[in-house]
């Protein structure tokens, strides 16, 4: 990467401060960074701090004779291997869509013939507004790569999608763009174009009676994020989901189920597939006999009712050991509270799958917005730093694309 250079456009918004960390991380990887600081961005970071980290002059004004004499805006727009807009505000994206050229940033975007990567950050309502959705769709249609924002608490006090992705995820996407390995969402055909992926997500509910059930705390966020990331890479995705309060990602075929047995049937009905990702927190046990009427307390002193349990089908093992229609890549999740990697390695062998994504759920992972995982394969353990679940999903989708493309030597793919 030592010969690579990016042009970073820093938009206005509280997330602009993360651009300083991004510049530093890119510098550590030998990627040179020249910067345009918008007037909005300068409300949050200073030209001096940007220049100190990048080691380059910072450009701010379109009509600056010194800047134009040194490097005109046309040359500036074409002097890099990649143009990165971070944070990409709703305003900057709207200007790019409509071809506005009323400041240095928008003029540069209009004049460039260099690939463009936009990293959005804005209020959740702005991100979900119909105008922004149209603009993002148009940018992707025009060949601009637009990353999906993270979901979580925002500086404005609201919660939802719209947060700037974690810096490691942005750096990984920049490196992928510069390497030319695969294609990301919105930039022509995706790296998983022509593949079929099945993803399970959320909990299952096993009925005790008509109003009660056995379940767990799974929110489905990680599974839904993975389904969305795979779809963004061009895959046809079937998402088999237990009961959650989430909307299906765009471009995903959603199949809703309640119980573990229903989930297994839906997965088998969706086969054949190239990839199976078993993210769902499936109940291991169910009541052997569910009551047809609501169970009643019989009064003080009455005996505590007993319950006989029956074992649920093991969906991951069933799919892993299929002789017909086994997906080429079968991935399981191991949610553990202790000895995470040891349990995950044992599960990889016991289930017969190709990968295990292991995570510690002793904290706030279930229902939370972040995850810290270790990818366990036949070749060893790849430990990832703690990051947003959206970032985990994107990184996993990239790993899957590499494996299906034959570039991951650590993975042993089973023959169909």
Binding-site residues from annotation for CTP: 284, 294, 313-316, 333, 347, 351
The closest of 325, 169, 185, 164 to 249, measured between CA atoms, is 185
Residues β-bridged to residue 150? 163
Strands 236-241 and 252-256, sheet pairing = parallel
What residues are designated binding site?
Answer: 284, 294, 313-316, 333, 347, 351
Q: How far is CA 148 from CA 121, 185, 333, 343, in A?
A: 9, 9, 23, 32
Residues β-bridged to residue 394? none
- Identify whether 156 is a catalytic site residue: yes
Helices (H), 196-339: 221-232, 260-270, 315-320
- Residues contacting residue 49 through CB under 8 Å, at least 6 positions apart: 20
The closest of 296, 289, 284 to 207, measured between CA atoms, is 289
Annotate 71-132 with three-state secondary structure. Answer: CCHHHHHHCCCEEEEEEECHHHHHHHHHCCCCCHHHHHHHHCCCCEEEEECCCHHHHCCHHH
Cβ neighbourhood burial of 2 (10 Å; 0-12, 13-18, 19+)? exposed
Let me know: does 224 contact 148? Beta carbons within 8 Å: no
Let me know: does 85 contact 147? Beta carbons within 8 Å: no
Tokens of 217: 């705390």
Please name the residue that has the structure tokens 């009676």: 209
The span from the CA of 149 to the CA of 388, in Å, is 10
Let me know: does 213 contact 204? Beta carbons within 8 Å: no
Q: Is the peptide bond before 272 cis (omega within 30 degrees of 0)?
A: yes
Q: How far is CA 393 from CA 169, 231, 233, 328, in A?
A: 10, 11, 11, 19
- Residues contacting residue 51 through CB under 8 Å, at least 6 positions apart: 35, 57, 58
For 243-320, strand residue ranges (E) read 252-256, 275-278, 285-287, 309-311
Tokens of 162: 């719209």
> Which residue out of 33, 156, 197, 353 is catalytically annotated?
156
Residues designated as active site = 156
């Amino acid at each position: 990467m030592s010969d690579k250079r990016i042009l970073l456009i820093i938009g206005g918004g509280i997330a602009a401060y993360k651009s300083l960390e991004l510049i530093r991380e890119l510098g550590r990887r030998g990627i040179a960074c020249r910067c345009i600081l918008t007037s909005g961005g300068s409300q949050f970071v200073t030209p001096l701090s940007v220049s100190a980290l990048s080691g380059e002059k910072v450009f701010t004004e379109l009509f600056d004779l010194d800047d134009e004499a040194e490097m005109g805006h046309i040359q500036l727009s074409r002097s890099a291997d990649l143009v990165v807009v971070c944070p990409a505000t709703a305003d900057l994206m709207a200007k790019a869509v409509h071809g506005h050229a009323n400041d240095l940033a928008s003029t540069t975007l209009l004049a460039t013939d260099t690939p463009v990567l936009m990293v959005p950050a804005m209020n959740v309502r702005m991100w979900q507004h119909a105008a922004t959705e149209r603009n993002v769709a148009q940018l992707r249609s025009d060949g601009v790569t637009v990353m999906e924002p993270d979901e979580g608490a925002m500086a404005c006090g609201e919660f939802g999608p719209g947060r700037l992705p974690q810096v490691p995820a942005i750096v990984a996407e920049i490196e992928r763009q510069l390497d030319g390995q695969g294609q990301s969402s919105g930039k022509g055909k995706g790296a998983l174009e022509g593949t079929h992926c099945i993803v399970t997500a959320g909990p299952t509910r096993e009925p005790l009676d008509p109003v009660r059930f056995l379940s767990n705390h799974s929110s489905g966020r990680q599974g839904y994020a993975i389904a969305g990331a795979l779809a963004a890479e061009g895959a046809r995705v079937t998402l088999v989901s237990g009961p959650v309060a989430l909307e299906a990602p765009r471009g995903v075929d959603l199949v809703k189920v309640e119980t573990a047995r229903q989930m297994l049937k839906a997965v088998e009905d969706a086969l054949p597939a190239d990839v199976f990702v078993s993210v769902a927190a499936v109940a291991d046990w169910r009541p052997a006999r569910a009551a047809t009427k609501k169970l009643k307390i019989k009064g003080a002193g009455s005996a505590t009712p007993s319950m006989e349990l029956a074992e649920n089908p093991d969906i991951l093992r069933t799919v892993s050991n299929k002789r017909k229609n086994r997906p080429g890549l079968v991935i399981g999740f191991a949610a553990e509270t202790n000895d995470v990697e040891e349990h995950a390695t044992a599960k990889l062998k016991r289930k017969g799958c190709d990968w295990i994504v292991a995570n510690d759920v002793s904290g706030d992972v279930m229902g939370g917005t972040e995850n810290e995982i270790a990818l366990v394969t036949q070749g060893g353990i790849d430990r990832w730093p703690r990051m947003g679940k959206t970032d985990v999903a994107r990184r996993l989708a990239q790993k899957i694309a590499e494996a299906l493309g034959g570039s991951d030597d650590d993975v042993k793919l089973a023959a169909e």
